[in-house]
Amino acid sequence: MSDPNLPESRPARGRRKRSQKKEAEIVLICNPRAGGRWKELAGILDSEEAQYVRRIVTDAVEDIAEAIGETSQDAKLLCIYGGDGTIQRVLDRIQPAEMHLAMLGGGTMNVTSRWCGFSTNPTDNFLHVVRGYRSGELLFKEIPLLEVRTGQELHRGFTFGMGPIIHLLDAYERGRKGKLGALSTAARGLAGVWAPWRTAYSELLELMRAEVVLDGERIPHDKFSAVFANVTGQINLGVQPFIDARSRDRFLCAAIAVSAREFTLAMPMLMRGWMPPDKSTLFQPHRLLERFKNPALFTDPRYVNKTGARLDIKTTDQLYTVDGEIMEAHDGAVSVDVGPQVRLAVGPQTKLAQLKTLLTK
């Protein structure tokens, strides 16, 4: 005698199989030590949507490599709970063209996650991603990565930086973390720049002696306050210093060859992408109309701000950063190229106009 409930049970088993398939396709890697935000992680793991993902929780950021090795070949979407440093470690270990990424936040600084339109609440971000992926409504944008090489090492990320400001970041990383630690490091940095006597930070903030070559053309300076390469247009929250539009096969680049004091004075303008004018043109009133029509032609030549496809740096400076992670250069040489494309999930806070721009880049 047949079971009268059998017809109803078959569709149910079919739905479970599809759920299991989705579970194989979505992987969640968690670094709960990123910012120490255990409460937010608990909200993710306790959610109904968590049943559709494979969860891998690491004990430390150093375990990211092993966690990536545990992901199945069937994985299509990798959700990352952690800050920019966690994301950078992931990018170093995956084949970007084979994976879609969703950056949920959860770290101390979540620059790239916010740039993708995600909120400061990782749980809300996770629910948005899983629901959107399962319904087929989750949007993605494609963007190239930077490939940073020194010696035999290769790192991938969204932002590269080198110069005295990176030494300041390193000092913060070695000291007390948090807002108070950041304020203390900033105050000591300013004292090192402006105090009439030498401080412990004065040596850290000495200009970087370097030969900087962009697309085969040497920048005509040998001392730099900072050198940056970037693909998102944003180095940090509220810091968008680039003036050109990046094409698909190029990155944004800024090289600043001024004194540390002048750099601190110009920083409020540079953060908004306003280039200081060439002071010599102020004494050329006959070119005032020309300057008004095309102010870029009258920018101080010590501030280089353009796009490029390759950046080469030779220097005695040993420190550089990729997405906030401090690295050490080998043999005094670092190169930056345009790397492979990566597909990033778009968060709910991305405005429609901004979304159209991101999807076409």
pLDDT tens for 197-212 read 888 888 888 999 999 9
pLDDT digits (tens, 9 = 90+) for 216-259: 999 999 999 999 999 999 988 888 989 888 988 999 999 999 99
pLDDT band for position 94 (cuts 50, 70, 90): confident
Is the model more confident about 161 or about 297? 161
Find out whether 298 and 291 touch, Cβ atoms under 8 Å. Answer: yes
Helix boundaries (H) for 58-163: 64-69, 84-93, 111-115, 122-135
CA geometry: angle 276, 277, 283, nearest 5 deg? 150
Residue 1 banded pLDDT, cuts 50, 70, 90: very low
Nearest to 51 by CA among 11, 17, 23: 23
Domain boundaries 156-340, CATH class: mainly beta
pTM for the model: 0.83
User: Domain 6-139 adopts which CATH fold?
Assistant: Rossmann fold (3.40.50)
Give tens-digit pLDDT for 119-160: 889 999 999 999 999 999 999 999 999 999 999 999 999 999
Residue spans of the domains in the chain: they are 6-139, 156-340
**Residue 265: CA count within 13 A, CB half-sphere:** 7
What percent of the residues of the chain are helix, what percent strand, and what percent coil, each to the nearest 5? 40, 30, 35
- The owner of tokens 């040998």 is 222
What mean pLDDT is predicted for residues 177-194?
82
DSSP 217-264: EE-S-SEESEEEEESSS-SBTTB----SPP-TT-EEEEEE-S-HHHHH
Determine the pLDDT at residue 98.
74
Average pLDDT over residues 31-58: 79
Is pLDDT of 12 > 70? no
